[in-house]
Structure 1
Amino acid sequence: MTEFIPPGTRWFALPSPFPFKRGGVLHGARLAYETWGRLAPDGSNAILLLTGLSPDAHAAAHADDPRPGWWEWMLGPGKPIDTERWFVVCVNPLGSCKGSTGPASPDPRTGEPYRLDFPPLSIEDIADAAAALVRGLGIPRLAGVIGNSMGGMVALALLARHPGIARAHVNICGAAHALPFSIAVRSLQREAIRLDPAWAEGRYDEAHYPESGMRIARKLGVITYRSALEWHGRFGRVRLDPDRRPDDEPFGLEFEVESYLEGHARRFVRRYDPNSYLYLSRAMDWFDLGECCGRPGDAVAALAAIRGLEAACVIGVGTDILFPIEQQEEIAEGLRAAGCRVEFHAMPSPQGHDAFLVDAARFGPAVGGFLAGLSHAAME
């Protein structure tokens, strides 16, 4: 499987060997990242942006890559994350296939892709790699760390394992541990990939790629990224025109919503490595911030033990079924117990978990307003 690497990507060499929480090490590993803005001489205006499972580091257009990024409306000059004020670093997570070392990357021992020889990846490993990048860029302390979805998990692990690494935190649709429903969905996604004969115990290639498994996995994911309200409002029970229905396929596509899922899935497959999907998905299921303070399952105690964080903005969505809003309420409660000044926003967005990618009218002011309140102290 070929890695998909955006043209404006930069790389950071991780310490070698780089140890993993659950055992195993990487040699010669790297992280892919992109930057916007200018770093202040004392490094005080740096913001780290941590992504969800599938995005690359290209969050917005810049001089080296003018293509619109996945968070184009949020990041840039005069936008909520104002790059005329902040120096922003977006990092592709360790284990991904978008430039950072992952299962699709060549193992220096063999020259062949790691595949299932990649070490067992955890959210904590992703956080430790991000911390190494921050230090490697010469940033003594981040003004803030922003994490959404899986990135919200990584951000909490970063703050817990590296006390004082950031003054402020924005957690968007994140969680301090995985819930049973989310684990169940991701388990089915992994099963769909593993049961595809072309997966071949992780030894597929471009000619033999588990396309059916990845399509089903992506469809399951997309269903949970939006809400029932969103599906009803966008598609209702509208059927496809007869000329868009496959004539020779029993039980084929019949409704508009089915066609949407199929199109979304087909755009995703072959642009993401199945083994990377398996590793990152499992890392989310394994994550329990309580383990950081020796109290598995006690997220509030783990959050209350975080030190060095001054302010936080926690945002959840009432229609999110994948990372339900009670998980963001838990984060806010725990960070307040840590002595942190916390803003909490419960967004009524109908788009569910993916609202932070599309609901600019709600999320832009919440993020921008919080960062504006930090800017004076950060720029002194």
Structure 2
Amino acid sequence: MASARKILNLDRPFPMRRGGALQDVQIAYETWGDLSFCNDNAILIFTGLSPSAHAASSTEDPAPGWWEDMIGPGRPIDTRRFFVICVNSLGSPFGSTSPTSINPATGQCYRLTFPVLTVEDIARAGHEVVTSLGIKKLAAVVGPSLGGMTVLAYCALFPEGARALVSISSAARSTPFAIALRSLQREMIRKDPAWLEGNYASDAIPVQGMRLARKLGMITYRSAKEWLQRFGRERANAERKPGDPFGIDFEVESYLENHAVKFIGQFDPNCYLYISRAMDLFDLADHGGSVAEALRRFTVERALIIGVETDLLFPIEQQQELADGLSNGTRTVQFARLASIQGHDSFLVDMDRFRPVITDFLAELKLANP
């Protein structure tokens, strides 16, 4: 599948929503498919907290993407019909300007001098990419989890920016439960002695803090029902390390450990702190006085809201709130309530349920040159 990996370099300051501005901003993104003559077939995808812009494989990069089963020829987001753009979130360490980037004013990494990051900043960075490609209106803007929040921010900031939206396992704002969990994850990182107030070296990151934060995250990304079905009380195969009476006994512990170790080498701790807090700070009510009023102001013609019944982080009631708020009688709104047992991560693994819903919704989008 043809693809292009690019970086947009802005030649003007990028003002941040909560103050400050970034200079020489870079926004990394990938594209698949071809833009139509009328520029009306573009779909913009925002990611969750940790993925890069590499959502699908291509001839340029054959490595599987984080949404491999969703994007491509004949897949739900069909690249024979749509021009697909996926952006690396501002603040994320995979090519876009982030706390790991060099501050041109000092010649040093931003680290904690990076301005407060918001979901709106991520949305605006995505819009910069869209504008640079000559696209005036997207066919659809799509995102799961944090990406779904960014979809909402995009539609609030750019009312005429998209004809349709797809929000997956997301919400207009985080619940106290989700905020508490992410707050504890951030504290785990900051309490690691190796964090050094964010001034750790690249080869001496706060490993233990990241490891524990990732484990807690993994627990909340899936459901208790799946943990029971998948692992039960199965014992770990590996022998316990000598002198460690409280080491790994169960296979579920081994699973968490393996995923935590893998994540440590992939994601920068300061970036994690910034993006995690951005999710907590987001409140769609800031764009209208209430969530209901903000949704009423959206101008999209069609909307698909997908929620999962076992999602701990973004309960199904929050998806229902979005669907109800968008149902103003003038637009088509579809609410898909899925019974996946994989919890919040269902959009990554339960393709049998997600593919048909997204396929049917996008198939009904009218294009000038289908």
Separation of aligned partners in 1, 2:305 and 2:369? 23
* Matched residue, 1:371: 362
Separation of aligned partners in 2, 1:342 and 1:199? 45
* Matched residue, 1:246: 241
Whether 2:306 is the aligned partner of 1:315: answer yes
Distance 1:278 1:340, change over 3 A: same
* 1:304 paired residue among 286, 290, 296: 296
Q: TM-score by structure 1 length? A: 0.95
Distance 1:126 1:378, change over 3 A: farther
Structure 2 residue runs of 5 or longer lacking an equivalent are none
Separation of aligned partners in 2, 1:339 and 1:84? 30
Distance 1:18 1:360, change over 3 A: same
Shift of 1:110: 1.9
Shift of 1:132: 1.3
List per-residue Cα deviations over 1:259-299 (Å, max 9, x = no partner). Answer: 00000000000210100000000000000000011x1xx32
Which amino acid counterpart does residue 367 of structure 2 have in structure 1? A
* 1:100 paired residue among 91, 96, 100: 96
- The aligned runs of 1:2-41 (5 Å cut-off) are 9-14=5-10, 16-41=12-37
Q: Secondary structure at the match of 1:370?
A: helix
Whether 2:286 is the aligned partner of 1:278: answer no
For the 8 Å contact 1:303–1:338, the answer to whether it is kept is no
Separation of aligned partners in 2, 1:32 and 1:38? 18
Separation of aligned partners in 2, 1:379 and 1:193? 50
* Matched residue, 2:319: 328
Which amino acid counterpart does residue 291 of structure 2 have in structure 1? A
* Matched residue, 1:90: 86
Whether 2:260 is the aligned partner of 1:269: answer no
- The aligned runs of 1:134-145 (5 Å cut-off) are 134-145=130-141
For the 8 Å contact 2:40–2:367, the answer to whether it is kept is no
Separation of aligned partners in 2, 1:225 and 1:292? 28
Which amino acid counterpart does residue 331 of structure 1 have in structure 2? L
Distance 1:15 1:315, change over 3 A: farther
For the 8 Å contact 2:41–2:367, the answer to whether it is kept is no
For the 8 Å contact 1:219–1:262, the answer to whether it is kept is yes
* 2:341 paired residue among 333, 350, 357: 350
* Matched residue, 1:165: 161
Separation of aligned partners in 1, 2:343 and 2:232? 17
Whether 2:331 is the aligned partner of 1:340: answer yes
List per-residue Cα deviations over 1:16-75 (Å, max 9, x = no partner). Answer: 210011000000011110000000012100000110010000001112111111111110
Number of aligned residues? 368
Separation of aligned partners in 1, 2:331 and 2:111? 41
Shift of 1:338: 7.4
For the 8 Å contact 1:304–1:338, the answer to whether it is kept is no
For the 8 Å contact 1:144–1:169, the answer to whether it is kept is yes
For the 8 Å contact 1:314–1:332, the answer to whether it is kept is yes
Which amino acid counterpart does residue 137 of structure 2 have in structure 1? R
For the 8 Å contact 2:31–2:84, the answer to whether it is kept is yes
Distance 1:183 1:338, change over 3 A: farther
Quick check: 204-213 or 309-318, which moved more?
204-213
Distance 1:341 1:76, change over 3 A: same
* Matched residue, 1:110: 106
Which amino acid counterpart does residue 144 of structure 2 have in structure 1? N
CA RMSD of aligned residues (A): 1.3
Distance 1:250 1:143, change over 3 A: same
Identity of matched residues, %: 55
* Matched residue, 1:4: none
Q: Secondary structure at the match of 2:274?
A: helix
Separation of aligned partners in 1, 2:369 and 2:325? 28
Separation of aligned partners in 2, 1:8 and 1:303? 34
* 2:233 paired residue among 231, 237, 255: 237
Shift of 1:179: 0.6
Separation of aligned partners in 2, 1:379 and 1:45? 8
- The aligned runs of 1:111-150 (5 Å cut-off) are 111-150=107-146
* Matched residue, 2:73: 77
Whether 2:222 is the aligned partner of 1:226: answer yes
Whether 2:36 is the aligned partner of 1:67: answer no
Structure 1 residue runs of 5 or longer lacking an equivalent are 1-6
Separation of aligned partners in 2, 1:181 and 1:15? 40
Distance 1:325 1:379, change over 3 A: farther
Shift of 1:140: 1.2
